[in-house]
Amino acid sequence: MARPEPRGDAAGVPEHAGRRLLLAEDDADAMAATTEVLRLMNHRVVQAKNREEVLRMVATEPIDIIVMDIGMPGQDGYEIAKELRRLPATRSMPMIALTGFGQEADRSRALAAGFNEHLVKPVDPDRLARVIDTLSLRGELAGVRS
């Protein structure tokens, strides 16, 4: 992945820096690379490798946005997203599918499962940053915790 370009105001602070992101990814290399990119954007990242860890993190950590792989072990990202949408705490939480599944049918399935956005790996860091900023702004306008 390419390093993201500095963004934000003249002082170099990203527009929506400091978000608390839950990164759900079962591949160790992808987890490490994506975590590094998100931290370079000044986000705080908590990690989950499977459904159980995702559910534990959303119950115990203050999360602003979930970034989740689709190809998770056991229950896939589509099923986890549907489950999260049924829970009061995560019903309106922004979720991004970050996946190797890039067909239009995959995008449609992700959106139907409850994801707000569908991004294909390897993702352009600037695109990811824009999506996070957009979802953060939507959450603020809707009165969601940020």
At 10, is the pLDDT very low, low, confident or very high (cuts 50, 70, 90)? very low
Hey, what are 52's tokens? 């159980």
At 14, is the pLDDT very low, low, confident or very high (cuts 50, 70, 90)? very low
At 17, is the pLDDT very low, low, confident or very high (cuts 50, 70, 90)? low
Hey, what are 55's tokens? 């559910």
What confidence score (pLDDT) does residue 137 get? 83
Beta carbons of 131 and 117 less than 8 angstroms apart: yes
CATH number listed for the domain at residues 20-137 = 3.40.50.2300
All residues at 6 or more sequence positions from 130 whose CB lies less than 8 Å from its CB, including other chains: none
Separation of CA 84 from chain center: 13
Average pLDDT over residues 99-128: 96
At 18, is the pLDDT very low, low, confident or very high (cuts 50, 70, 90)? confident
Top-confidence residue, 16 or 110: 110
At 144, is the pLDDT very low, low, confident or very high (cuts 50, 70, 90)? very low
The pTM for the full model equals: 0.85
Hey, where are the domains in the chain?
20-137
At 3, is the pLDDT very low, low, confident or very high (cuts 50, 70, 90)? very low
Hey, what are 53's tokens? 């860890």
Average pLDDT over residues 122-134: 94
